[in-house]
Structure 1
Amino acid sequence: MRFLTSILCLLFFSFSLAQENTVVDVKVQGNKKLKSSFVKKIALVKVGAVLDSVQLEEDIKLLKRLPSIAHAYYQVFPANKPNEYNVFYNIEENFTIIPQANVYTTNDDEFAFRVGLYEYNLFGQNITFGGFYQDDIFSSYGINLRAPYLFSRKWGLALNFQDLTTQEPVFFNNTTADYRYNNTSMEALALFQPNFNNRFEFGVNYFSEDYQYLRGATSTNVPQDLVVKKVLYKLIYEFNNINYYYQYLEGFQSVFNFQYVTSTSEALPEFLIGWNDFLYFKRVGEKGNWANRLRLGLASNDDSPFAPFSVDNNLNIRGVGNTIDRGTGVIVLNTEYRHTFVDKDWFVLQGNAFVDAGSWRNPGGDFGDFGDSQNLRIYPGIGLRFIHKKIFNATFRIDYGYGITPDATNGFVFGIGQYF
């Protein structure tokens, strides 16, 4: 009915092509916490401008992407004078104070978790602020602030701090050693969105890496204690043409991430790293959704045990374990079919079947490593999604991945939010 009302209104004024139709008022309805002034600030449609159906559609697409909004639609009504119209943006808000949780296990009895709390609509301005605590053998924490529309529809700011400590395997000479790894970082990013489909982030990250030997193999060429200060220059470019309808997604997205890292140590030399995530979503019938993510990445090919790309449960291959390998190049494909079994006013139950597959280039190796069976990992699996439709990102997921390649593991991965 809402859709029909909008279409009829647009048809009404589209017949008057000889005269310009003008917007005399923009109203926001249904919002409680979200500020009407914020919606008007980021909307393309302005008071006094010519009424444009393309701008109306773009505004609705943008609003439905915001964390604070579960659904949005517009209505257009004639005002008191001919060729003058009132525009109404109707908002269904999300609850935006959201806990975060990620838990994973493997058949090696490994257990780790990350919990956090984030507000995604601080001050009613779609500002994200919060932090996390992680227990992965060692304790870690982080604080994040992200305000993509702080200055205007196009310009925003992000600030991040983290103190991350984990146990990391280091691979060299066909042996392995365990290190206590600490990364303490401060990051500032400028956020720029020139138009609806394109977005840039660029900035600097100052951080310190601390490696301390715990157990395992040793080598005179691999230091047992290492502290290195680094500066990272970051550029992210995103093209996003995904349409959202509650839990269903359709369209294409590409996210390119490039980093240049300086270093104060020859043991961890400066390097370049870049990767691109290609995401494609397709509606299948009324209740199905086919989701795909392809990651292609390369880094400077130093023959170092501290290579940047890792094989990890929470990053790329469900069920594989915690950082079981490293490389200087990566190819990973995640594909899954999501099917909605229950869809109520506020609750959704989804099931999914997936295949996670990937391969890595060895440090100092060549592109032939991607075809090496020792570097290839394939993990099919199944999972469940429990979704609250009126709370942002309130998707509790359970996945079980079972490896079918040599020396594979299996295990559960729990988390909040879709895997990708």
Structure 2
Amino acid sequence: MVKNVMKNILIALIFFAYCGSFSQETVVSELQITGLKRTKESFIRKLVKVKPGSTYDSLRVATDIERLKRLPGVANAEVVVKQNQDSGYQITYAIEENFTIIPGLSIATDNNGEFAYRVSLFEFNLFGRNQIFGGFYQRDVFDSYGGYWEAPYLFTNKFGIGINYKNLVSQEPIFLENNNTINYKFDTRAFELNFLYEFDFHNRAEVGVNISKEEYDFIEGNLPAEIPTRLSANKIAYRGEYEYNDIDIDYQYVSGFRSLLDFRFVTGGEGLLDDFFIGRNDFEYFRRIGKRGNWANRLRLAYASNDDTPFAPFAVDNQLNIRGAGNTIDRGTAAIVLNTEYRHTLYEKGWFVVQSNVFVDTGTWRNPGGELVELVDGSTLRFYPGAGIRLIHKRIFNAVFRLDYGYGIGNDATNGITFGIGQYF
């Protein structure tokens, strides 16, 4: 009897010793973070999911690395894992930081055919916590300015806030029947507050409110009797955004899939500026091609319920969707736009990359007062192939200087150069 009891106790001790050694081997005993200069280590430790004392999970480690590489302040991140049978896993996240105080400049032709530009200055790693803060000044016939602050992880590692104010003034062409184009001065002053929440590594959402005052003042053109010379509205827009992100970033190379849905319910208008719903979804797909190639695609679906107003929300524009088309050459109340391009690294040494680009931008629009069938019947189709060049600094956030030339095919097609900072999409 005593012998059996002793035997059972010995077996139990061996079992618990085995379990203890097994759990010790699978525990993260130490997490080191190296390479930080401006980013706060406390911020990184708050953000990552691997914690000292937690069970080792290789998938969680890989997710942390991808999460870090998405931060504006991080150029690249790698992991070193050492297993010690006595103390568990020692993990080191080696981070290479971006330079994040970024000036911006875009140059275009305004709707008077004159010189237009936009200058900006943004800090993408404010306080070392990857908060975004900055503003812009724009000259596009008239003067505009705006300021932004976004702190995605202000409250927790999932919950943050964003605030922006914009005073945008521009000359806007309004396209009527029989090729009649009239010009308005468009002035909008808007304050926006958003709350940001990250459900998990792949899914995040924003909800917010935008309070604005819009004014349209007639400038020139053959104004029909039913179109007023001045319109104004005090509007409140309730907005939401949902993003699914399964993107892998390796410096200038991108692979994976991303979907971004943005929608607004706009209230407070009347007449030609009546209340409406507006929604847009961008589907993006990226694939590595060999060692130096990258295939990039964006499908944009857009719809607005105010289908009978000439003040349509979606524009055909160089900087937005169709390279080479020109500056705000048409408007629509629904759109299907496909941008596809092949990027190829021609030269890479250290921090500097030269990348070539060949692309096709194509899209269809529903004209104001038109039918949805216009999106598929070919009557509004625009087709613009082209080529371009990219100069990239690998250790400065979003430092991609691009120059594209698009050539339109079809009746009344145009061609032209588009310059900007950052990849087109």
**What is the TM-score when the length of structure 1 is the normalising length?**
0.93
Q: How do 1:304-315 residues align onto structure 2 when only pairs under 5 Å count?
A: 304-315=309-320
Structure 2 stretches lacking a partner, 5+ long: 1-20
Structure 1 distance, partners of 2:274, 2:111, is 36
Aligned-residue CA RMSD (Å):
1.7
- Which string of whole-angstrom CA distances, capped at 9 and with x for unpartnered residues, describes residues 289-338 of structure 1? 00000001111043111011111111101111121111110000001100
* 2:63 aligned to which of 58, 62, 66: 58
Q: Who is 1:147 aligned against?
A: 151
- Which string of whole-angstrom CA distances, capped at 9 and with x for unpartnered residues, describes residues 209-228 of structure 1? 11011101112211111111
Structure 1 distance, partners of 2:112, 2:414, is 8
- Higher Cα Rg: structure 1 or 2? 2
SS at match of 2:123: strand
Structure 2 distance, partners of 1:91, 1:18, is 29
* 1:383 aligned to which of 385, 388, 394: 388
Q: Does residue 369 of the first structure (1) align with residue 379 of the second (2)?
A: no
Q: Is the 8 A contact 1:170 1:176 kept in 2?
A: yes
Q: Who is 1:324 aligned against?
A: 329
Q: Is the 8 A contact 1:24 1:47 kept in 2?
A: yes
Structure 2 distance, partners of 1:214, 1:106, is 15
Q: Which structure has more RCO (C-alpha within 8 Å, separation ≥ 6)?
A: 1
Q: Who is 1:268 aligned against?
A: 273
Q: Who is 1:33 aligned against?
A: 38
Q: Does residue 44 of the first structure (1) align with residue 49 of the second (2)?
A: yes
Structure 2 distance, partners of 1:211, 1:107, is 16
Q: Is the 8 A contact 1:107 1:409 kept in 2?
A: no
Q: Who is 1:354 aligned against?
A: 359
- Which string of whole-angstrom CA distances, capped at 9 and with x for unpartnered residues, describes residues 367-391 of structure 1? 2212354411111111110000010
Q: Is the 8 A contact 1:334 1:357 kept in 2?
A: yes
Q: CA deviation at 1:364?
A: 2.4
Q: How many residues align?
A: 404
Q: CA deviation at 1:405?
A: 2.1
* 1:128 aligned to which of 125, 132, 152: 132
Q: Rate the CA distance shift 1:211–1:109 in 2: closer, same or farther, 3 A.
A: closer
Q: Does residue 259 of the first structure (1) align with residue 264 of the second (2)?
A: yes
Q: CA deviation at 1:265?
A: 2.3
**What is the TM-score when the length of structure 2 is the normalising length?**
0.92
- Which string of whole-angstrom CA distances, capped at 9 and with x for unpartnered residues, describes residues 237-263 of structure 1? 000101000000000000011110002
Q: Report the identity percentage.
A: 53
Structure 2 distance, partners of 1:226, 1:18, is 70
Q: Does residue 118 of the first structure (1) align with residue 118 of the second (2)?
A: no
Q: Does residue 229 of the first structure (1) align with residue 234 of the second (2)?
A: yes
Structure 1 distance, partners of 2:314, 2:45, is 42
- Which string of whole-angstrom CA distances, capped at 9 and with x for unpartnered residues, describes residues 271-301 of structure 1? 0011110000011111010000000111104
Q: CA deviation at 1:152?
A: 1.5
Q: Is the 8 A contact 2:39 2:128 kept in 1?
A: yes
Letter of the 1:164 partner, please give it: L
- Which string of whole-angstrom CA distances, capped at 9 and with x for unpartnered residues, describes residues 180-234 of structure 1? 1111100000000110001101100001111011101112211111111101111
Q: Who is 1:163 aligned against?
A: 167
Q: Who is 1:8 aligned against?
A: none
Structure 1 stretches lacking a partner, 5+ long: 1-15
